[in-house]
Amino acid sequence: MNLIRSVLGDVDPSGLGRVNYHEHLFQASPLLVGDELRDESASTTEAQLLRASGFDAMIDATPIGLGRDPEAVARISQSTGLTVIATTGAHRDAHYSPDHWLRRLDARRRADLFLTDLRDGMPRHDHHEAPAVTPAGDPVRAGLLKAGIDYWSISAFERETLVAVAIAHAATGAPIMVHLEYCTAAHEVLDLLLTLGVQPSGVVLAHADRDPNPALHLELVARGAWLGYDGVARPRTRSDAELLDLTEAVIAGGGLQHILIGGDVARRSRYVAYGGMPGLAYLGTRYLPALRARIGQGPVDTILRENAARFLSWTPDQSGRLLSSQPDKPSVGQDQ
């Protein structure tokens, strides 16, 4: 039976509800100095605003080493009623200082960390500390793998992470998010992961909507990949109207079953509870009504409910560990 791994335990996909596929309740990065999300009370309030805007669940996409706080996320999930899927893995190279401890780990050792997060639970604050626990005393486990690349480039650090993610995916079947810069190198990432044994159907390409070309998106759909649309409320990059046009065109081309939607607001200066705007509620209160007017309620439900549940589903065994029919390691690249 397929289940979705949330911070409070495994969830039946049929009961997941409407999912925001990409947000951050906590984050800290050298690229975002002064824009950190570290206040549990404020993040709880922001999560409540997201819940009130019509969402039942979200992915907290903060990976290892960037200020994630699994115990606080579990408390927020319990207090708000918002199902939260946590993330393991690593972001693109630029988010980590030159001396960051994660750089000392090769692909196999990173994969071991990712597998521990998925199967046994995450540490409280990432650096091999005591295990994080839910308010009920259970381990707080991740439900998603993440990697990231830069603009038209894949550094040695990023390649090691992609290999590690592939190893962990092969052992578990866990879904994968890959951060792309402006949707560059989308095919190249899928090609690399395919050589490592990862089918595109297990991968969502975050920020795919930064490239407004529907033909590219339909090429990625034809390969089986998921399209992560998370660029709302960013008119300096791409307006909501352009994103609506793109979504409508991709659906017209047959891509409805491959779209996921999120906000990726990510910064304190954009969170209402931290004194900024537009906040996590923008997606539900401002963008989705416009999307419904374009494509109808049925397709919106498909994206938020059915697509997200399919993407996030795994199969656990009786011990609670997650199984995959794939081999225990990628076919190539393990030692890269």
183-202 confidence digits (pLDDT tens): 999 999 999 999 999 999 99
* pTM of the predicted structure, to 2 decimals: 0.94
Question: Please, are residues 179 and 156 in contact by the beta-carbon 8 Å criterion?
Answer: no
Question: Is 100 annotated for ligand binding?
Answer: no
Looking at the predicted structure, is the pLDDT value of residue 162 above 60?
yes
Annotated ligand binding at 128? The verdict is no
When pLDDT is cut at 50, 70 and 90, the band that residue 316 belongs to is low
Is 19:300 a contact under the CB 8 Å cutoff? no
Spatial CB neighbours of 217, under 8 Å, sequence gap ≥ 6: 208, 211, 227, 246, 250, 253, 255
Structure tokens at 22: 């990409």
**φ and ψ at residue 311, rounded to 5 degrees:** -65, -40
Q: Which of 191, 147, 138, 188 is nearest to 168 (CA)?
A: 147
Is 146 marked as a binding-site residue?
yes
Q: Which residues pair with 142 in a beta bridge?
A: 86
Domain regions of the chain by residue span = 4-323
309 contacts 5 by C-beta, under 8 angstroms: no
Fold of 4-323: TIM Barrel (3.20.20)
Share the mean pLDDT of the chain.
94
Strand-pairing partners, residue 148, are 179
What are phi and psi for residue 23, nearest 5 degrees?
-145, 180
Q: Annotated binding residue at 187?
A: no
Question: Annotation-wise, does 329 bind a ligand?
Answer: no
pLDDT above 90: percentage of residues in the chain: 91
CA angle centred on 62, ends 259 and 312, rounded to 5°: 40
The pLDDT of residue 86 is above 50: yes
- Integer Cα distance of 166 and 123 in angstroms: 22
